[in-house]
Every structure is written in C-alpha cells, then in structure tokens.
Amino acid sequence: MARTRYASDRGLTSRMLVTMFLLGLVYVVAVGAFFVFLPEWAFVALTVAALFLLAQYFFSDKMTLFAMHGRVVTPDEAPELHGVVDRICALSDAPKPRVAIADTDVPNAFATGRNQKKAVVCVTTGLLRRLDPVELEGVLAHEMAHVAHKDVAVMTIASFLGICAGLITRFGLHVGLWGGFGRRDNDQNTGLILLAVIAASALAYAVSFMLTRALSRYRELSADRAAALLTGRPSALASALTKVNGEIARIPTKDLRAAQAFNAFFFTPAFGKGFSVSSLFSTHPTLDKRLAQLSRISAQLSRGA
C-alpha cells in the first residue's frame, strides 16, 4: 500500500498472502486431479479457466458496473459527490478513482478495479439520498481504503479460483454424463475416476469459499479502521453504518435479492430483517463488531493515542 496516507495493515497483507497461497495450493491439487484422471479434457478446462481469469481481472470494473447498472459520472454531473472524493484524495494522497453512480434504491457503495489507475468507486442513488456529506465521506473513505490496500484485486483473483473449481466440477459432471457414463455404463473405473475429479473440485470450491469469506470479513474491518483514522471521524462512519443497515431492512425483498450477488464488494451486505446466517459464511463482520471497533478508535483519537 505505497504512497498513500491510509493506515497500513500488516494483518491484512499477511492474510491476503496466506489466502492466495492456500487457494493456489488447493487449485493446483484440483487441476492435478483433472490431469491425472481426465487428461484428454484437462487442456480444454484450463483454457476456459484462463480466459475467464483474464476477462475477470482486466475487465472486472466494467463487468461490475454493467451488472449493477452503474455509470461513470463527471464533476459537472455530480459535483457534490466528486467534491467528497476530491477531499478524500487530498487527505490520503491517493490518485483519484473514477466516480460512478448506480441507479438503485438499495443504499450501498462498492469499489472495483485491479489497481489504483483502473479503480472505480460507485455509490447508489439510494445511498446519496440517505446520507449527509460527512457520513458519505466516511463511506467513500472506506471504499477507497479497499483500493489503497489492494484487496479489491486480491478478492477478484481469490473469487476466480473458487469459480474455477466450480467450473471444473461442472465440467467433470458433463464429461461423466456425455463422455463417460453414456458410452461405458459398465466401466466402474471410469465412474470412480469421475467421482474422484468431482470430489476434488468440490472440496477445492468449499475451501476457497471459506478462505475468501474469512478474508472478506477481515478486509471490511481493516477498511473501517483505515477510513476512521484518515478522516478522524469514526463516529460519522458508525452513523453511516447504522443508518444504511436500518434502511436496507426496509428495501423490498426482490430488490435485495437482485443486489446480493455483489455482497462481497458492498459497504454493507444487502440482507433484510430476519436474515440469519452463521458468521462463518458471512462476507462482512457483524454490525456490532464494526461499531465496537469504531468506538475504540474514537476513544483512542480522543486521548490523542
């Protein structure tokens, strides 16, 4: 995280490195199983996976904006929003990202892009209507911290490895149905081979799912901390978190479902009232945990620590 004034986080850096190493190891094992048991299909599967990675890595910003119906806006189109981003850039000494708005009433924000030059920070119209400028500054500082920490690019690659494992599983099923079991119903070895490939890929997907969720939760706490220290207003970020979580609970379920695919990148997950899930599978830490951290930071700043 060079050349910015965002607080560094060695814990986040080490977690990103460990996560990428473990995901890579799991992925190599899954691909190795494919090469050993189904060598005739392995190169096809890897070619598809490589193309998918290139597309996701180089065009993740465009793909995410397109999926969220977001569009990049100029300073003339959104002067107040650009003004907030300019203030954060001045505070952090970070290059200015592109600024976008997504036309949806779901109050949220996200950052995407493989590096600072390609970064895009997007807010929804629902968020702009509900937050005051100080709260909005806290949210945008949080999102720009993701870019400064480079965890957006890491999450893009990490999620790809999980998707790849899922694709290999589906590919193995396809081969089994059309290229294996269909022609050699009595060949038990073929069945065992295919089951081994599918099991290895499914395990790889499960492990990648757990690792990316754990990294995602930590990176949200890290971005909260960095934003609070940069702006010097942890209470503003806490207010934004409380308000957004409360407002999301009032959004129609169908709108929330349409946005849930982007939860890993959102400022706060798009789940309504009554939703409960084990923290093991959540992309974000609980609201109470985030508010508790901001309260501690506020106390530290008031003591001049």
SS3 257: helix
pTM for the model stands at 0.81
- 40 labeled part of a ligand binding site: no
- 142 labeled part of a ligand binding site: yes
Report CA Rg, the chain. Answer: 21
- 82 labeled part of a ligand binding site: no
Position 197 scores a pLDDT of 66
Could you tell me the end-to-end alpha-carbon distance of the chain, in angstroms, rounded to an integer? 23
- Between 164 and 246, the higher pLDDT residue: 246
Domain ranges for the chain:
10-181+189-304
Residues whose CB is less than 8 angstroms from the CB of residue 55 and which lie 6 or more positions away in sequence, other chains included? 63
Position 181 scores a pLDDT of 47
Tell whether the model's pLDDT for residue 255 goes beyond 50. Answer: yes
CB 212 within 8 A of CB 24: no
Position 258 scores a pLDDT of 72
Which residue among the candidates 40, 80, 137, 143 is catalytic per the annotation? 143
Nearest CA to 212 out of 9, 22, 60 is that of 22
Verify whether residue 143 is a known catalytic residue: yes
- In which residue are the tokens 């590919």 written? 171
